[in-house]
Structure 1
Amino acid sequence: MSQSDMLFDAKHIWHPYSSLIKPVSCYSIISAKGVYLKLKNGKKIIDGMSSWWSTIHGYNNPILNKALKKQIKKISHVMFGGITHPSAILLCKKLIKLTPKKLECIFLSDSGSIAIEVAIKMLIQYWEALGQNRTKILTIKNAYHGDTFGAMSISDPNNSMHKIYNHFLPKNLFANAPCSNFNDHWNSNDIISFKKIIKKNIFTIAGVILEPIVQSVGGMKFYHPIFLKKVKELCQNYSIPLVFDEIATGFGRTGKFFAFEHANVIPDILCLGKAITGGTITLAATLTSRHIANTISNSSTRCFMHGPTYMANPLACSAANANIKILEKNQWQEQVSNIEKELNINLLPLINHPRVIDVRVLGAIGVVECSKFINLELIQNFFVKNGVWIRPFRKLIYIVPPYIISIEDLKKLIYIIKKSLDQNIFFI
């Protein structure tokens, strides 16, 4: 890629959460294999982000590539309205087998944010079918569920990147986030705020939506499993559907196949995305119970009112089937366990660094919370120069590496994080 191409990119192309007046520097990637991204100058850097949680088996995985090539020779896309195809049917069979027995009805879409939109629509149509006008969603503060408008409306209105849209978004309900960390003792006060809000708004709440165990963009916090148990009990007591957003955490990232398994609770609706295709192509799924699906199907419209153009894209479904086939070998459990052990050994000690206020590890997630905000431009350049790809935000340096990463490469990621903490210039 030429210098003129990079200048064109900076002038004309928006990147995530970036400005076109003062864009954050971009690095040209020309190829990738395993855990390595190859820059245009030929240098290889270790990807510590799994392309935002998705590329769990690394890049150019031969099994995933084979599935894509095989499918593209047949058909790359076909509308799903009035048409079905083997890849979609096989994927839905696999998802039903992998998830709790209760979740047997599946809506396929094309991104995690849309999976959340679908879940919200399901909740609203469910209550409409029951003759009730319930439109409020209850969640917790510091939540993040995506960038589309429904998803933004259930992301924390005061502490999220979306607060500039608050005047436009529907007003939902936000309980206090639990303070009890994953490995701490449970504090029963953590459920008080949630309990008060659900009791006060019992006839307007359409559903509860939570990121189970891990609050991702809301601060990379890992909360106590008992909180999920208590929420589930309240939802059952008041007959309110419970939705889990496993878009980031699903498919083994936390050490369990799904994060809700840490609490041994089952949602009424489950949203999946990101790693569902092993990071090859975009796809998402919203699963629900037969009861909710049948109730919606008996609504005034007699059908569920959503239908993305690329719904159940055959290429994406084929990649997802191949991804699940890899996961079914159960190597992910050992891989994630080894990552967690290494993070505990070498990342946790960074808690003693003067610029660090906390370090958290869960499964294949490692988080360093700094005492000051991070200069993304400067620290990103430092990381690339030192052969790693890590993208911090706010005060957090975190890594979610591919499951296939070697201990040697993982140690390098951790070592470069430690080196960055020693540089005063990176902290504001």
Structure 2
Amino acid sequence: MSNKHTIDLDFDREHIWHPYTSMIDPLPVYPVTRTYDNKIELETGEVLIDGMASWWSAIHGYGHPKIVKAIQQQAQVMSHVMFGGLTHQPAVDLCKKLLAITPKSLEKVFLADSGSVSVEVAIKMALQYWMSLGKTGKSKLMTAKKGYHGDTFAAMSVCDPVNSMHNLYQGFLPEHVFVDAPKSSFFATQCQAELLQLEQAFIDHHDEVAAFIIEPMVQNAGGMNFYNPEYLKCIRELCNKYDVLLILDEIATGFGRTGKMFACEHADIEPDIMCIGKALTGGAMTLSATLATENVALGISRGDAKVLMHGPTFMGNPLACSAANASIELLTNEYGLAQVRRIENALAILEDCSKFEEVVDVRVLGAIGVVELNTSIDVAKIQQFFISQGVWIRPFGKLIYVMPPYTTPNQDIEKLCKSIFKAIAEKAY
């Protein structure tokens, strides 16, 4: 049932700061009164097919009865309790589930409250690990350009230093070692010269580098770059060879988005530290986790500090853990990754966009579909067009992309794809 009250858009415009927008000339916002299945219902009456899964998190759509029931039942018992000195069943159950589906080398779980915080924790783990071993010179990180790892300060410092939303903070952020973004695509043969160049960076910097951090297989907000599994496999080998930890940021790629439960499975490698978030609770609540190997955890614990110096107030929130337990059960017990494979096949229709001269590339991997243009997109203009078509798609830069809920039926996938085709055909960008 829709909310009968009118949302005060004037107040919103004057006083509420939305993501990545100006308070002088903000991008328009559209009032939502309800979400259900794979739909977003606006106050003005439009019902939109959601192509974004609320920034890639709502993998089961909205209001899934099993997740709702889990939250309701937990709320009646215990909505929250501090995690310092206490524990509870939802957290224990969740960590058991995570260890069952993540790479086997990961044995320790640190629960946090957002993806950016999980990256902060991963970076602290890597730095503290080497400090504990007395190697204080290993104080930098290595990463690839085009990466994106979050909006907090340590996370920003390993985002692309020039072509990201955080370049204005240069001079304030720690300076790390950046290598060229992976160029060999997921679907092509890996260029060996690229791997030699990568090794040279390890040769030059391994003494000062604590860890290499990268999003496996898909560099998401940095450009939707689908790169070759051999590149990631090479990073793992080089980290082993040159005594560098490997941090994989699976926040956007985890829980089936690329067609595997975790994207690192495409390369058949395991990290030393892994960050997860977004889809962890099926988009119902905010929760993240940083997982580490026993070697990393014990290394930190044997150092002078003895402990990992981090502890979010809402760490291990029982409501969020309960939602995550329900979401993982849906993903592992009910339909697995079959839905993702179905969506991948349905997204093939995006290839029709290749006929337009302004389209540079069309690519699909798992439940991710991307159309790359040769010009920047007017977000406000194209957003209005998409709403007129009954879909919710939010492009960025030169990219029009969809990452829909896994529950999206094929006819809705078709409508999302045809709306993108029509937007390009009518130059609505």
Determine the C-alpha separation between the residues in 1 that align with 2:90 and 2:329.
13
Secondary structure of the residue aligned to 2:274 is strand
TM-score of the aligned structures, taking structure 2 as reference length: 0.97
Q: Confirm whether residue 244 of structure 1 aligns to residue 248 of structure 2.
A: yes
Which residue in the other structure is 2:139 paired with? Answer: 135
Determine the C-alpha separation between the residues in 2 that align with 1:310 and 1:4.
29
Query: What do residues 166-212 of structure 1 show as CA deviations (whole Å, max 9, x unaligned)?
Result: 11000001111121100111111122332111111121100110100
Please show how residues 197-236 of structure 1 align to structure 2 within 5 Å: 197-236=201-240
Which residue in the other structure is 1:75 paired with? Answer: 78
Determine the C-alpha separation between the residues in 2 that align with 1:390 and 1:12.
25
Query: What do residues 53-83 of structure 1 show as CA deviations (whole Å, max 9, x unaligned)?
Result: 1000000100000000000001111110001
Q: Taking every aligned residue pair, what percent have the same amino acid on both sides?
A: 49
Determine the C-alpha separation between the residues in 2 that align with 1:250 and 1:383.
27
Which residue in the other structure is 2:269 paired with? Answer: 265
Secondary structure of the residue aligned to 2:248 is strand
Instruction: Determine which of 378, 390, 399 is the counterpart of 2:402.
Output: 399
Secondary structure of the residue aligned to 1:329 is helix
Determine the C-alpha separation between the residues in 1 that align with 2:134 and 2:399.
45
Determine the C-alpha separation between the residues in 2 that align with 1:45 and 1:148.
31
Secondary structure of the residue aligned to 1:308 is coil
Q: Confirm whether residue 337 of structure 1 aligns to residue 346 of structure 2.
A: no
Please show how residues 140-179 of structure 1 align to structure 2 within 5 Å: 140-179=144-183
Determine the C-alpha separation between the residues in 1 that align with 2:73 and 2:125.
34
Determine the C-alpha separation between the residues in 1 that align with 2:257 and 2:270.
18
Please show how residues 25-44 of structure 1 align to structure 2 within 5 Å: 25-44=28-47
Determine the C-alpha separation between the residues in 2 that align with 1:20 and 1:111.
25
Secondary structure of the residue aligned to 2:154 is helix
Secondary structure of the residue aligned to 2:33 is strand
Which residue in the other structure is 2:9 paired with? Answer: 6
TM-score of the aligned structures, taking structure 1 as reference length: 0.98
Which residue in the other structure is 2:427 paired with? Answer: 424
Determine the C-alpha separation between the residues in 1 that align with 2:7 and 2:246.
51
Which residue in the other structure is 1:302 paired with? Answer: 306
Residue identity matched to 2:13: A
Aligned-residue offset at 1:330: 5.3
Query: What do residues 385-405 of structure 1 show as CA deviations (whole Å, max 9, x unaligned)?
Result: 110000000100000000000
Secondary structure of the residue aligned to 2:337 is helix
Is contact 2:385–2:428 with CA below 8 Å preserved after alignment? Answer: no
Determine the C-alpha separation between the residues in 2 that align with 1:193 and 1:119.
26
Q: Confirm whether residue 195 of structure 1 aligns to residue 194 of structure 2.
A: no
Aligned-residue offset at 1:240: 1.2
Residue identity matched to 1:94: K
Which residue in the other structure is 2:116 paired with? Answer: 113
Aligned-residue offset at 1:239: 1.9
Residue identity matched to 2:175: K
Moved more, 159-168 or 351-360: 351-360
Residue identity matched to 2:143: T
Which residue in the other structure is 1:62 paired with? Answer: 65
Which residue in the other structure is 2:417 paired with? Answer: 414
Is contact 1:71–1:315 with CA below 8 Å preserved after alignment? Answer: yes
Which residue in the other structure is 1:276 paired with? Answer: 280
Query: What do residues 242-300 of structure 1 show as CA deviations (whole Å, max 9, x unaligned)?
Result: 01000000000000000000000010101000000000000000000111101101111
Aligned-residue offset at 1:97: 0.8
Structure 2's unaligned 5+ residue stretches are none
Residue identity matched to 1:386: Q
Query: What do residues 290-339 of structure 1 show as CA deviations (whole Å, max 9, x unaligned)?
Result: 11101101111111100000000000000000001101125142111111
Which residue in the other structure is 1:322 paired with? Answer: 326
Query: What do residues 33-65 of structure 1 show as CA deviations (whole Å, max 9, x unaligned)?
Result: 100111112221100000001000000100000
Which residue in the other structure is 1:126 paired with? Answer: 129
